[in-house]
Every structure is written in structure tokens, then in C-alpha cells.
Amino acid sequence: MRLTQRLLLGAFLVVGFLAVFIVALVDRQLGTRLREDAVTFLEREAVLVGVSWARETLHPDSLADRAGEALGRRVTLIRTDGVVVGDAAFDGDALAALQNHAARPEVVAALAGEVGTARRASISTGATELYVAVPVRGLGVARVSLPTAGLDGTIRSARQEVLLGVLVALALALLLALLFSRAVSRPVEELRDVAQALADGDLTRRPVLHAPGEVGELAAALRSLAEQLSARLRALEAEEALLSQLIESRNEAVIAVDTAQRVVRMNETARRLLDVREPLPFPVDLLPRDVALRDALLTAFAGGLTESAEVEIGGRTLTVTARPLADGGAVLALFDLTTVRRLEAVRRDFVANVSHELRTPLTVIGGFAETLQADDIPPTDRREFASRILGNTQRMQRIVDDLLDLSRIESGGWVPNPGMVDLGAVAADVLAAARDAAGAKGLTLAAEIARDAGTVYADATALRQVLGNLVDNGVRHTPSGSVTLFSERDPRGVRIGVRDTGVGIAPAHLSRIFERFYRVDPGRSREQGGTGLGLAIVRHLVEAHGGRVTAESALGRGTTITVFFPSRKA
């Protein structure tokens, strides 16, 4: 029920109750007063009739008739023994036939010297009458009666008028109550709507009410409250946005768990590291079931701290740090050490490989140099030892040069300067440089340059180094057959490759041949003069152009290594 209806109903009940009370009170008081006045008038008339009875010499019945006609009342004269000697309503035989009135209550009271009154239905006339009797000394009782029908009609008329007035007053009161309830309820309803909108999160709503008194003060207070809430919410939103940006910008995974052991906050780094895609909040049981991770959470829930516990989750190496929250929850911080551990392993492997690659030629050089210190070495042996020292020195020089090239490329110290290069000319130069080594093994060198792939957008020096390494690799690993340099058009650039008929590469090694110092057959590669860095340099040079390198091979059927250089437009 709306406020207007409640106010109107309350006003109706109050005014209605007052109207009924007033009508009942007026009806009672008016009836009593009219009856008392009627008794008073009848008493006076009865006294007047009694005085006339005592003074007049007329027959009592004639006096009663004349007095009744003059007063408009029924006048009855009763002797002390109760016999009716005069009655304005009866004459002759009818008068003589009236009952003795000595037992009538009003007559009894009058004979006792008092004013007697009674209200009853007349036995003689059958009508309800109001009787008033007074004593007449020495004669009896003079009684005057009045039919109550007229008196009751007067009371009914008065009651109707009072009721009509009350109804009019009730209608006016209800109208005023309606106007008042609307005047009160409308600002209250407006304030209610504004408060409800604020509670629902719409902080743009403001009360437009300007009223005097408490309602106006309430509107002003609500307006001030809305302004404060809006300002605080903006501050909280700005703080929340800043906190979210800080958390999301961290490389560290951050996970917040509440007291109900639900994950309530989680940055994107944490989702990526733990491979979790559940919408927040979700139970902590959906996190990876790692013992160290669970122990860190339990320790934090118990109020303890966990410092840098290292765990393996999903093939990643993570450090876990747990902190308890003031409300009983916990915060987990995870840092990905996978790259660091991989780089450490690469560094260890690199140091080990470099040390191994350099130790062998240094050992050879040292051994032969020590031998050359002797004076009795034949000239032929001396020349052979010097040749071996020179060969190992050149090999170490190639390793150092390749390491410097690789370091310069990886560190960004070298940037390609691409242009349109004639692939046929570069291929001729590269094959010419490898012709002596290929001729010593009886290999056939060939170039298959497609007409639509005769030029390539690349750095000319880098292209020569790439193709030189690939052809040199093919010659060294091909005992017999041929090494072919080819090119073909790609929708996005040019594909250049070197195909040989050598020993081939097993599938287990194929994915690692572009790593530094990786050799399929280490002993054989070292004997053939390889440094183990050529294909790594090829990969980095090609990727610096935005291209890629791929390898296909089968044992005993040869190997094909293809590099892709994108076009200038691409």
C-alpha cells in the first residue's frame, strides 16, 4: 500500500471514528435534552392545569377538555383514589370505562407529593406517550401527556441534520487529508526513489526537491550523501584501476584467496602460468594440485610466511611466495624462472661447448709445439707438425669469428641493410668458393634459379654468408652425389634452399640442428672442420630479415635446408 493511501486511510479512520463518536454523543445528549425539556414543559402545563382545577368551578372533564384543547395535549384529572374524573381524550361512557389509575407509576409519585414521569404505551389510546403528573392538594393528580411520536420525529430530524453535517465535515476532512497526504507523500516518494537509485548503484540521481522544514533538510542531506558517495566511488574506482594495472603489468603472477578458500583475484600472468581459465571467483581446488603450492597456501592460512619455494608446474619452474591477509585470506606470488633456468642451462652448455671445441685444437697445438722444441726432428715431420698447428689455429680462428658474428647478430649490433640482390650472381660466387672442396670428393655442384625468383630482397653480405654456410654444410656432409642450390617463388617472397644427397639427419636430431654447437655426429663434424655454429648463424641472419629457415631430411637420402626471405612489400 502506498504512503498516500496509508495516510488517507488513517485520516479516514480517525475522522470516521470521531464522526461516529460525535453523532452518538450528540444523539444521546440531544435526545436526553429534548426529553428533559419536554418533561419540564409538561410539568409546567400540569401545574397550570392543577391550579385551574383548584380554582375553577367547572366540571373536571370539561376543564380537562378545555385545557387539552388549549395546550394541544392530553390532559387527565385523577382523584386521590385513582378514578379518572376528566380526560381530554375521553368523554361520557368512555371516561367512565377508564381503568383506575392509582397504580400508574407517575400517579403513584404524584400522590406521594412528587412530580411523576413515565413513558409507555397508553392502554387507552395504544400510542406511546410521555406522562408527567403533579399533585393537586385536596383534589388529586393533574397529568399531562405528550405522544412521543412528535418528540422522536424531532430527535430523528435533529439526528439527520447532525449526521449530514458530520458527513460534510468528513468529506472536507478527507479532501484535506488527501491533499495533505499527497503533499507529504510526493517528496517522500521522490526521496525514496533517489535513495533506491543510489542503493542500486546509480550515483547520478539527485533529489530536485526544495522544501522547507524536515523534508527539505532530508533532501539536502540525501543530496550531500550522494555527492560524497559519488566522490568516494570515483576514488575507489581510480584506486582499483591503478591496482589492477599494477597487478596486470607485473611479470609476477598474483593470486588472492579469501577466507572461504575461493580465488577472488588473479592477474593474466597467473592464468597463463597456471593455465587457469575459470571465471572469478572459483574454488581454490581448481588451481594445480602441487604439493608445494598447497603447503604454501596452508601456511599462509595459518598466519605464516613462505619464502621463495621453487616448484615445477606444467613444465615451468616457478618460485612461490605466500603471505597471509589481515582478514584471514592469503596472497600467492609466483615468478616464472623457466627462462632463467633455460638461459643458465644454455650458458653452461655454451661454456662447456666452447671449452670443448677449443680444448682439442689447443691440445693438438700444444703437443706439436712441444715436440717441435726437439732438435732432432726430421724436416718432413717438422713441416707436418707445423701444418697441423696451422690447421688447428685456423679452426680456432673460425670458431672465434663465428662466435663474434653470432654474438653481434644476437645482441642487435648488426642490422641488415636489405636491397634487391641478383641471386644468380651470389649463387655463382658461393658455388665457386666450394668448388675445390667438392672436387676433392667428386661432388657435383649445381644451381637451379627459377626465372621468377632470380632476385631477392636481402642484405647482400648476409645472403652470401647464409648460402655459403648452407653449401659448405652440404659439401661436408655429402660423401658422394651432388649439392644443388635452388630458388622458387613464394606468394610472399622467395624461397632459397640447398639440397644434397648426403647421409641425412635422423628425425630425433632434426629439430635441434640450428642450435649452437649441436652436431649430429660430433666426431665426424670436427674432423671435417665444422664449428657447430654455421646453422645457428644462418637462422639468426634469416630471422633478422623477418624470414624463417626449415629443414627436411631422411637418413641415407640427403637433406634439404630452405630459407625464406619476404618480399619488400611484405
> Does residue 557 belong to any structural domain of this protein?
yes
DSSP for 330-399 reads EEEEEEE-HHHHHHHHHHHHHHHHHHHHHHHHHHHHHHHHHHHT-S---HHHHHHHHHHHHHHHHHHHHH
Are 425 and 402 found together in one domain?
A: no
> Does residue 295 belong to any structural domain of this protein?
yes
> Does residue 216 belong to any structural domain of this protein?
no
**Among candidate residues 129, 154, 179, the one where a domain is terminated:** 154
CA 205/CA 219 separation, integer angstroms:
12
CATH number, domain containing residue 356: 1.10.287.130
Phi, psi of 56 (to 5 degrees): -75, 150
Are 392 and 315 found together in one domain?
A: no
> Does residue 203 belong to any structural domain of this protein?
no
Residue-level pLDDT at 237? 78
Are 314 and 347 found together in one domain?
A: no
Tell me the residue range of the domain where 545 lies: 415-566
Are 81 and 109 found together in one domain?
A: yes
CA 520/CA 499 separation, integer angstroms:
18
> Does residue 163 belong to any structural domain of this protein?
no
Residue 417 CB partners (closer than 8 Å, separation 6+): 459
Are 439 and 380 found together in one domain?
A: no
Under 8 Å between Cβ of 259 and 300: no
Using DSSP, state whether 28 is helix, strand or coil: helix
> Does residue 488 belong to any structural domain of this protein?
yes
Are 433 and 475 found together in one domain?
A: yes
**Among candidate residues 287, 321, 336, the one where a domain is terminated:** 336
With 0-12 / 13-18 / 19 or more C-beta atoms within 10 angstroms meaning exposed / middle / buried, residue 223 is middle
Are 286 and 364 found together in one domain?
A: no
Are 11 and 92 found together in one domain?
A: yes
Indicate the DSSP class of residue 479: S
Are 142 and 282 found together in one domain?
A: no
Indicate the DSSP class of residue 413: -
Return the closest-CA partner of residue 65 out of 56, 57, 55, 76: 76
CA 481/CA 217 separation, integer angstroms:
102
How confident is residue 356, by pLDDT bands cut at 50, 70 and 90? Answer: low
Residue-level pLDDT at 499? 92
CATH number, domain containing residue 305: 3.30.450.20
Residue 551 pairs in a beta bridge with 561
User: What one-letter code names the amino acid at 565?
Assistant: F
CATH number, domain containing residue 561: 3.30.565.10
Residue-level pLDDT at 564? 94
Are 53 and 132 found together in one domain?
A: yes
pLDDT tens digits, 462-497:
898 889 889 988 998 899 999 999 999 988 999 999
> Does residue 164 belong to any structural domain of this protein?
no
pLDDT tens digits, 224-274:
887 888 888 888 878 877 777 777 767 788 888 888 888 888 888 888 788
**Among candidate residues 336, 369, 400, the one where a domain is terminated:** 336
> Does residue 195 belong to any structural domain of this protein?
no
pLDDT tens digits, 312-333:
777 778 888 888 887 778 888 8
How confident is residue 353, by pLDDT bands cut at 50, 70 and 90? Answer: low
pLDDT tens digits, 24-65:
777 677 777 878 888 888 888 888 888 888 887 678 888 888
pLDDT tens digits, 273-284:
888 888 888 888
CA 130/CA 69 separation, integer angstroms:
18
Return the closest-CA partner of residue 402 out of 271, 564, 535, 235: 535
Are 401 and 424 found together in one domain?
A: no
**Does the bond joining 479 to the residue before it have cis omega, within 30 degrees of 0?**
no
Looking at the structure of the chain, the number of domains it has is 4
Question: CB count, 10 Å around CB of 545?
Answer: 21
Structure pTM?
0.43
How confident is residue 524, by pLDDT bands cut at 50, 70 and 90? Answer: very low
User: Which of 184-188, 380-384, 457-461 ranks highest by mean pLDDT?
Assistant: 457-461
Are 371 and 278 found together in one domain?
A: no
Mean pLDDT, rounded, of the chain = 81
